[in-house]
Structure 1
Amino acid sequence: MRLLITGAHGMVGRNLRAHPGMSGFELLAPARGDLDLQDGAAVRAYVTRNRPDAVVHAAGVVGGIHANMAEPVRFLAANAQIGLNVVLACREAGVGTLINLSSSCVYPAALGRDLSEDQILTGALEPTNEGYALAKIMAMRLIDYARAEDASLNWRTLIPCNLYGPFDKFDPGRSHLLPAIIHKLHQAKTANAPTVDIWGDGEARREFMYAPDLADAILRALDPAAPRLMNIGVGQDHSINDYYRIAAQVIGWQGTFTHDLTKPVGMRQKLLSVRRQTEWGWAPLTSLTDGIAATYAHYLEILA
């Protein structure tokens, strides 16, 4: 099978490419310099020319709460254009299998926990990442509409929880919570800093999954029997304070945490329902401590 991965050089794409199961595929993994996904004509030409049997759409302009708040126009416009271009190119070229990766931010902000797939578009989105969420909802709906017009399409959307792992971004201006924590705590350890600051009170809760586990779910979801819309998560969340505490233990920093209550924290809780995933018969295998340790080892390799 010829498999095209968009975003093949991002965190999800690189972990997918590193999965042992990829040995059975002929891989198409264009870098950003080879294919601009915001150029619709270029995307259509690439897909038509290479004729992939399957596409995993993992590309996107991503960032943490700071980046989303600073550049909402970019996060909405770029991600909407990318999603539109990829889905329509696959439709035009007759790609039979397409896995679209969405985001848990598509869920209404007020729900908090047990977020089930039928709750999407039932309430207002979290304002701090609304633009990104709207773009992801649009791509998901395009998948639904295309499948409604052609029932033979093996197209689906997976909605992962928050991710971390090897090949993550650790730049504080672009990173998500866990890689930002790893970077901050490593700097504190290196500088012998006695305190580390946490945004907000640290009681907001988040669900994080090790990215190589998501790669495993993606490969399995190429099967036509997989659900057409499905959350992919661990089914358990932790407070931000917990993530700092566990990461500090892994990294070996022994200082004290302080809290900056003037900083935004986003949703107080965002925990996916994994009922469909469980019925499908899949669950992630990597513990939080083991995943943070492996991610920290990767971070140290980058610094070396």
Structure 2
Amino acid sequence: MFKRILLTGASGMVGKNILECTHFNKHRLLTPSSRELNLLEIDAVAKYFDQNDIDLVIHAAGEVGGIQANVKYPINFLVQNTLMGINLINTAHQSGIKDLVNISSSCMYPRNAVNPISEEQLLNGELEPTNEGYALAKITSTRLCEYINREDPSCRYKTVIPCNLYGRYDKFGPNNSHMIPAVIRKLIQARDNKKASVDIWGDGLARREFLYAADLAEFLAYAINNFSDMPQNINVGLGDDYSINEYYQIIADIIGYKGVFENDLSKPTGMQQKLVDISLLKQFGWHHTTSLKDGIQKTVEYYEGVNHE
């Protein structure tokens, strides 16, 4: 059992869901803020490892955002995430830490990958242009873990590749949110302002797979308790997906929005489909427990609670 775990990104959505997961109570979690541990400064990372006795690292920190943010700030998404990944992972290895979980993203798979997308399809094609900077950074961290394992077999540096995430502690702002929280905010405002119609970017036919963030935390607890059996790279998802139009309707039904939807064909839609292959996940013995409707309901309740405090 890992007694002392360094969790980066503890203030983010994934990090906060890990902290709420009761399965982590038997471990001691070190959760430094960015002021206490600046992952962009390699000397600060080395100093932190030197001053703390760490059994396992969970790398959940990152600069994240939706299509708008990725298109507008590709330099930031590439540089920030690449530096954080390399500084943390390589320095952990140099500091003698033998076990590390790198949380990546299905965004790093090729835009024209055959769905469902298996782990072997990494770097087998052109990336999606709307989030290429972020994807390149995540690919770098994933490959670095593979290289460390190859050069030093005593190390177990493994990568978790979740599908799109949503849930409590998500970002709901118009400039940095992903699809589900953005739609929740948009439709609640439309409902409250009695708007007759709401626009959907693109034709709404692109398909997406979303996992409730608390379920990812449950998976991570399961993974570290079965770490030897966990594959080098493993997709974590549901195994099914919905169209953007369907997500809008599901969220509208939950919050009680009665207006109509209009597709704005001048706006980008991203990859047409991004459904991960969960064959290895099934073999590993884990399955999600939160349905899409239940997860969205809980996320809506969280959003309304935060905005009405």
Paired letter, 2:288: P
Distance 1:253 1:196 in 2: 10
Shift of 1:112: 4.8
Corresponding residue of 2:228:
224
Show structure 2 runs of 5+ residues with no match.
none
Paired letter, 1:272: V
Distance 1:196 1:267 in 2: 22
1:100 pairs with one of 102, 106, 112: 102
Distance 2:35 2:18 in 1: 20
Corresponding residue of 1:173:
175
Distance 2:174 2:230 in 1: 36
Paired letter, 1:183: R
Q: Does residue 290 in structure 1 map to residue 294 in structure 2? A: yes
Shift of 1:173: 0.2
Mapping for residues 1-304 of structure 1, pairs under 5 Å: 1-222=3-224, 223-304=227-308
Shift of 1:154: 2.1
Shift of 1:104: 0.4
Is 1:112–1:269's contact at 8 Å kept on the other side of the alignment?
Answer: no
Deviation readout 1:119-154 (Å, 9 max, x if unpaired) = 111100000000100000000111011111111112
Is 1:164–1:211's contact at 8 Å kept on the other side of the alignment?
Answer: yes
Show structure 1 runs of 5+ residues with no match.
none
Number of equivalences:
304
Distance 1:263 1:161 in 2: 23
Shift of 1:301: 1.4
3-state SS in 1 of match to 2:63? coil
Shift of 1:33: 2.4
3-state SS in 2 of match to 1:73? helix
Q: Which runs of 4+ in 1 moved over 2 A?
A: none
Paired letter, 2:154: S
Paired letter, 2:9: G
Deviation readout 1:237-275 (Å, 9 max, x if unpaired) = 100001000001111111111111100010010100000
Distance 1:92 1:48 in 2: 11
Paired letter, 1:243: Y
Shift of 1:48: 1.9
3-state SS in 2 of match to 1:44? helix
Distance 1:112 1:79 in 2: 26
3-state SS in 1 of match to 2:153? coil
Distance 1:73 1:301 in 2: 34
CA-atom RMSD, angstroms? 0.8
Is 1:112–1:271's contact at 8 Å kept on the other side of the alignment?
Answer: no
Deviation readout 1:273-296 (Å, 9 max, x if unpaired) = 000001111110100000000001
Is 1:51–1:95's contact at 8 Å kept on the other side of the alignment?
Answer: no
Distance 1:50 1:192 in 2: 54
3-state SS in 2 of match to 1:151? coil
Distance 2:33 2:20 in 1: 16
Distance 1:39 1:130 in 2: 24
Distance 2:305 2:203 in 1: 32
3-state SS in 1 of match to 2:76? helix
Is 1:213–1:285's contact at 8 Å kept on the other side of the alignment?
Answer: yes
Distance 1:172 1:113 in 2: 29
